[in-house]
């Protein structure tokens, strides 16, 4: 860990000034990921801007449009157990509770969760090449140990995945990230928040280096009844997803009116394929249909050896998640049996 200066601004405006004061400044809130990365010399900020006590970012409030606004500093635990979130956006609550451990969720924040970095082994190990950590050095994961790596949207330069569970649910729910920057505030739809690696794997998100997250806004609730968050991993808790699926259906009788399906653990961002979701419209929930949808989602999926199994696993997970959502029997995050 290198030496750094530390500031604890009292307002968003001050925070923005602090962030702009140094090109190697970094925002810290819960620190559950950043501190680890600093210890491993993966992140080497020279200036830390502690936003954890900024006023006004720690509450969950109603929006004018019937949705909820979750402040950037709301802890993962507070968001997951908020009664409005539980009643109106149980998919989000479920996804958050599928992640990490109680201790980590207590410390981790909503904004920080979106900005956590990949769990790629090579990214974490400063002794080996990694184009995400050090642009241009290459990606040894492609022909190395890659059972946890991406099968969709990869590039020659990077096959890392985004590890968040929460973001997968937010993608399905079409949340919007509210950010502030030197030029004022702007909205980034969650679908556009995280990036694919392309030629610039060092950039995880479209958030500007001089911007900070204020809140995540959820549109009016629609999927409180038929939803699930199904997470498959190497042990039954405290492990990142090999594959996860957030599925949300709006039903009219036994017909699907609208479907949202987002996958985690398979790409550099939560993976959605609107064309596949459309295929469910007007259809009765049926395994054959689910299979077609799953195939469409995984169109173009590519394995790198160790993660080849993820293609079939993801396909099966989508089918199971859609079955759970259609049946109104969401996956419990405490009982580890899968329905």
Partner 1 sequence: MQQTSMHETHVGSPRNRVDGRLKVTGEARYAAEYTAPDLAVGYVVSGAIARGRIRSVDTKAAMAVPGVIQVFTHQNRPRTAWRAKAYQDEVAPPGTPFRPLYDDKILYSGQPIALVVAEDFEIARYAASLVRVTYETEPHETDLGKLREKAYKPPKTRSGMAPPPPRGDAEAAIGAAPFKVDESYRIAIEHHNPMEMHASTVVWEGDGKITVYDKIQGVQNTQSYITHVFGLSNDDVRVLSPFVGGAFGSGLRPQYQLFLAVMAALELQRSVRVMLERDQMFTFTYRPDALQEMAIGANPDATLQAIRHDAIGCTSRFEDYQESVVSWSAMMYRCDNVTTTYKLAQIDTYTPGDMRAPGAPTGMFALESAMDELSYKLQIDPLQLRLRNYAETEGGGGKPFTSKELRAAYQLGAERFGWSRRNPVPRSMKEGRELIGWGMASGMWEAMMEKTSARATLTIDGRLEVGTATADIGTGTYTILTQIAADALGLPMEKVTARIGDSSLPMSPVEGGSWTAASAGSAVHVACNAVRETLFKYARGMDASPLANADIGRVAFRGGRMELMADPSRYVTIQDTMRAGGVDRIEAEETAAPSRINQLRYAAYTHSAIFAEVRVDEELGRVRVTRIVDAVAAGKILNPKTARSQILGGVVFGIGMALTEESMMDHNLGRFMNHNIAEYHVPVNADIHDIEVIFVEEHEDKINPLGVKGLGEIGIVGTAAAIANAVYHATGKRIRHLPITVDKIIGEKEAA
Assess 123 for contact with partner 1 (CB under 8 A). no
x/- track of binding to partner 1 for residues 237-256 (CB under 8 A):
xxxx-x--------------
Residue placing its CB nearer to partner 1 in the complex, 148 or 280: 148
Strand pairing partners for 264?
244
d(CA 306, CA 304): 6
Q: Please give the helix or strand (H or E) that residue 34 lies within, else none.
A: helix 34-39
Span from 49-57, 77-85, 119-127, 166-174 in contact with partner 1 (CB under 8 A): 119-127
Q: Compute how many residues bind partner 1; rule: CB under 8 A.
A: 39
Comparing CA positions, the residue from 162, 215, 209 lying closest to residue 187 is 215
x/- track of binding to partner 1 for residues 3-22 (CB under 8 A):
x-------------------
Assess 137 for contact with partner 1 (CB under 8 A). no
In the three-class reduction of DSSP (H, G, I as helix; E, B as strand; rest coil), residue 6 is classed as strand
Residue with token string 């997470």: 231
Helices (H) then strands (E): counts for the chain = 13, 12
Six token digits for residue 51: 């936003």
**Single residue of 317, 318, 322, 325 touching partner 1 by CB under 8 A:** 317
In sequence order, the 6+-apart residues with CB closer than 8 A to the CB of 155 are 196, 197, 198, 199, 201
x/- track of binding to partner 1 for residues 141-180 (CB under 8 A):
--xxx-xx--------------------------------
d(CA 198, CA 279): 28
d(CA 148, CA 122): 12
Span from 105-113, 137-145, 216-224, 293-301 in contact with partner 1 (CB under 8 A): 137-145
Residue placing its CB nearer to partner 1 in the complex, 69 or 149: 149
What does the binding site for partner 1 look like in residue numbers (CB under 8 A)?
1-3, 39-41, 119, 121-122, 124-128, 140, 143-145, 147-148, 232, 234-240, 242, 309, 312-313, 316-317, 320, 336-339
């Amino acid at each position: 860990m290198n030496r750094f200066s530390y500031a604890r601004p009292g307002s968003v405006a001050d925070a923005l000034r602090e962030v702009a004061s140094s090109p190697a400044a970094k925002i810290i809130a819960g620190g559950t990921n950043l501190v680890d990365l600093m210890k491993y010399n993966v992140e080497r900020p020279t200036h830390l801007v502690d936003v954890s006590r900024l006023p006004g970012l720690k509450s969950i409030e109603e929006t004018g449009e019937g949705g909820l606004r979750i402040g950037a500093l709301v802890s993962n635990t507070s968001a997951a157990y908020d009664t409005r979130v539980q009643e109106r956006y149980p998919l989000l609550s479920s996804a958050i509770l599928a992640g990490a451990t109680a201790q980590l969720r207590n410390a981790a924040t909503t904004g920080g969760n979106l900005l956590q970095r990949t769990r790629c082994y090579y990214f974490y190990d400063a002794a080996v090449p990694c184009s995400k950590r050090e642009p241009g050095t290459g990606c040894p994961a492609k022909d190395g140990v890659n059972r946890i790596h991406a099968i969709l949207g990869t590039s020659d330069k990077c096959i890392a995945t985004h590890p968040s569970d929460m973001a997968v649910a937010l993608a399905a729910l079409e949340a919007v990230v509210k950010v502030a920057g030197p030029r004022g505030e702007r909205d980034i739809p969650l679908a556009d928040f995280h990036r694919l690696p392309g030629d610039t794997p060092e950039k995880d998100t479209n958030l500007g280096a001089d911007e900070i997250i204020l809140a995540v806004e959820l549109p009016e609730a629609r999927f409180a009844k038929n939803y699930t968050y199904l997470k498959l991993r190497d042990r039954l808790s405290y492990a990142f997803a090999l594959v996860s699926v957030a599925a949300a259906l709006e039903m009219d009788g036994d017909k699907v009116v609208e479907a949202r399906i987002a996958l985690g653990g398979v790409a550099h961002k939560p993976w959605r394929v609107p064309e596949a979701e459309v295929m469910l419209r007007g259809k009765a929930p049926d395994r054959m249909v689910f299979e077609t949808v799953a195939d469409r989602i995984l169109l173009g999926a590519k394995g790198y050896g160790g993660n080849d199994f993820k293609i079939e696993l993801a396909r099966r997970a989508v089918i199971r998640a859609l079955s759970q959502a259609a049946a109104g029997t969401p996956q419990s995050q405490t009982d580890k049996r899968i329905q």
